[in-house]
Amino acid sequence: MRIVVTGATGFVGRAFVRQAVAGGHAVGALARPSSAATLPANPALTVIVGTLATPPWKVLTRFAPDVCVHAAWITDAGVYLQSPENDRYVDESLAFVMGLFDRGVGHVVALGTCAEYRPSAQPLNEARSPLEPRSPYGHAKHALRLALSERARVAGARLAWARIFQPYGAGEPAARLCSTVARRLAVGERVTLDTPNAVRDWIHVNDVAAALLCLVEGRVDTVVNVGSGVGRTVEDVALTIAELLGRRDLVAAGTAAADAFGPLVADPARLRGLGWKPRVELATGLATLIEELR
């Protein structure tokens, strides 16, 4: 297939590009001028310089994609949940995908988020679990899904909406929890966890990329959770990192502030039904991340 990828230099986008190229697909990576040079040279990879706001439509038309994986979004840790930039990404994403539909692209795989759901102690199911975004980020993703679903229906196109849970792994933004804990423990700094009891579904970025490729190749046309189905607390994850570094003594729970956004754990039955399964165990993925940071 010929796949155009937005956000191709981001955490998830870059992992997807690697797997799609390895899988024999032709990939057109849409990248900002400032980051385009960071993409690897590969005969199967075409770097397309541009943005969602200013798409290079002539170049995109020449590339002639069959499908788009839309991964571009604001993801800065500590910023993205409340950022007003979320609204801008809704508008730019909708205009960009509409432009693809107008040019004959018949399938889009777009990244949603577990933050669209109402938190629940039970695994979250695409068909049954209530939606209740609690942040501008969650609201924006939910609004984009509704708008894209209607536009895809009118255009006769397919839309796979991938609700990503808690990705981690080598290449993640430096301010994310796993990288922050690993860096601080490695130099002997004490780590105090603000929300040690927060429960999330941690999934390695390579497993996320494999799931997205599964949605592309299967021409999937529905909402799909992308999570492991296993809930772990922030404290569990931090202690796993500490054990790998031999610094369990440096991790402490704070005042256990309430978690306003969780628990959030996937029911991944729909994704598993497509033939996907997670391959990276948490400890293995964290060990790889620690090695990269070294």
pLDDT tens digits for range 85-132: 999 999 999 999 999 999 999 999 999 999 999 999 999 999 999 999
CA atoms within 13 A on the CB side of 203: 29
CA distance 150 to 240: 43
Q: For residue 236, with 0-12 CB atoms within 10 Å meaning exposed, 13-18 middle and 19 or more buried, which class applies? A: middle
Average pLDDT over residues 166-187: 96
- Model confidence band, residue 262 (pLDDT cutoffs 50, 70, 90): confident
Q: State pLDDT tens for residues 202-211.
A: 999 999 999 9
Q: Are 56 and 48 in contact (CB under 8 A)?
A: yes
Average pLDDT over residues 252-263: 81
Topology annotation, domain 175-200+231-265+280-293 = UDP-galactose 4-epimerase; domain 1 (3.90.25)
Q: Are 251 and 185 in contact (CB under 8 A)?
A: yes
Topology annotation, domain 2-167+203-226 = Rossmann fold (3.40.50)
What local confidence, expressed as pLDDT, does residue 159 receive? 98
The domain spans of the chain are 2-167+203-226, 175-200+231-265+280-293
CA distance 242 to 272: 31
What local confidence, expressed as pLDDT, does residue 83 receive? 96
pTM of the entire structure?
Answer: 0.96
In percent, the amount of the chain with pLDDT more than 90 equals: 94
**∠ Cα 208 210 215 (to 5°):** 95
Cβ neighbour number for residue 259 with a 10 Å cutoff: 18
Q: Are 162 and 226 in contact (CB under 8 A)?
A: yes
Structure tokens of 178?
A: 């796993």
Distance of CA 189 to the CA centre of its chain: 29
What local confidence, expressed as pLDDT, does residue 115 receive? 96
